[in-house]
Amino acid sequence: MNMRNIPFGFPLIGDEEKAAVMKVLDGPILVHGPVSKQFEQDFAAFSGAPYALATANCTASLHLCHFYHGLKQGEEVIVPAMTHTATAHAVELAGGRPVFVDAELRTGNIDLDAVEAAVTSKTRGISIVHYLGMPVDMERINAIADRHGLYVIEDCALSIGAEFRGVHTGLWGDAGCFSFYPVKHMTTAEGGMLITKHKQMAEKITFQKAFGVDRTAGERSIPGVYDVTMLGFNYRMSEVHAAIGIEQLKRIKDFLVRRKSNYEALTNALRRIERISVFQSSQGDFLSSHYCHSVLIDKRLSKHRVDIINSMKAAGIGTSVYYPRAVPDFTYYRGKYKYPDTAFPNARQIAECSIALPVGPHLNIDDMEYIAAELEKNIKGVQRNG
């Protein structure tokens, strides 16, 4: 097979996105105007959310959720050890303490059996991630939250289009936060969305994402005159970003179909490879958004992971690692909370032994066969070399 160019992620920006951006730039309104409102309405319609708020990015959305709940110093929020650091950072930024819970090896998601044991008298909330787009069993999370009076925030950065029991992720908890960073399912360059079913939460966060100012520019009877009724951030999305989002959202169903067929083709092709395992794919009431295919190489091969990744790169295949460390092992968290070396064995195994393979809509079924063939060859190669 010939050498190919298979990037891990590649934003698919077409003429429609470009024209929409130029239209905004030709007009007078670049922030808090009708385009971001339209994007919010479109996203609400797509996800089934009663309320959708466009934000600067997913991290800002997560921060807003904890800020809204008035998290105080010393209070705790349960978070997965295996996630993007943003899930934990949002808790820290709001002044709380993230309490990490290990992953389950079957799905990579938070170990549901360990969540309730992590609840203390200081726990205020649970913030889960739908790891690589595979939904967490939100009925179990909500049952635990109900028993202890906790709020629930879903990090949906990788789970647009993913559903649990026919309900879009982000609508089981009190809020769901999405990312439109370039390598995610759809992009606005930088951008995020916060969805919720609570009217009061949506109304207050609308102010909190815009300095706590009591009315938007359009609502001011005297230009420039307003009051500030609460503390807030500048976490809005611009009209330029929203214009890209509206066009990308029109294509999301197609993107998701292509991800699914690539994922399924890769799943089949990976079956013949020895000494790897894959996370369980969607089944039953779990509809995945197929962010990528992460393979776990045998523990004894983990010292060769970088060689395998480099060989894949030499064959033109972009890979990634989701995520490179269990979050409590990042220097910042390790220094602050000093978890023992025996904690989070599954999250650590995923961090050390996984290689994330692309299945994005920029690729086709043929690419999947090529990726699997290269992976098989390179795993055999490192085994031969000891």
Cβ closest to ligand PLP, residue 78 vs residue 265: 78
> 83, 322 in Cβ contact below 8 A?
no
User: Segment contacting ligand PLP (CB under 6 A): 82-90, 93-101, 168-176, 244-252?
Assistant: 82-90
Residue pair 87/129 in contact (Cβ under 8 Å)? The answer is yes
**Cβ-contact 134, 99 below 8 angstroms:** no
Cis-peptide into 370, omega within 30 deg: no
Q: Does 59 bind ligand PLP (CB under 6 A)?
A: yes
Specify the 3-state DSSP secondary structure of 129: strand
Name the segment binding ligand PLP (CB under 6 A); options: 15-23, 45-53, 56-64, 165-173: 56-64
Q: How many CB atoms lie within 10 A of CB 30?
A: 12
Which residue number, 87 or 196, has a Cβ lying nearer to ligand PLP?
A: 87
Interface residue with ligand PLP among 87, 107, 288, 319 (CB under 6 A) is 87
Q: Does 128 bind ligand PLP (CB under 6 A)?
A: no
Report the residue number, 11 or 192, with the smaller CB distance to ligand PLP: 192
56 close to 237: Cβ distance less than 8 angstroms: yes
Residue 40 CA to its chain's centroid (Å): 18
Residue 354 binding ligand PLP, by CB under 6 A: no
Question: Contacting ligand PLP (CB under 6 A), which of 155, 247, 329, 374?
Answer: 155
CB 24 → ligand PLP: shortest distance, Å? 21
Helices (H), 56-193: 58-68, 85-93, 112-115, 138-148
Closest distance to ligand PLP from the beta carbon of 181 (Å): 4
User: How many CB atoms sit inside 10 A of residue 310's CB?
Assistant: 12
Helical ranges in 117-238 per DSSP H: 138-148, 199-208
> Taking CB under 6 A as the rule, does residue 58 contact ligand PLP?
yes
DSSP per position, 209-235? TBTTBSS-GGG-SSTT---B-S---B-
Q: Under rule CB under 6 A, which residues in 190-229 are in contact with ligand PLP? A: 192
* Interface with ligand PLP in residues 316-345 (CB under 6 A): none
> Which residue in 36, 123, 127, 179 binds ligand PLP (CB under 6 A)?
179
- Provide the minimum distance between the beta carbon of 309 and ligand PLP in the complex, in angstroms, as a whole number: 19
Binding site for ligand PLP (CB under 6 A): 57-59, 83-84, 86-87, 129, 155, 157-158, 179, 181, 192
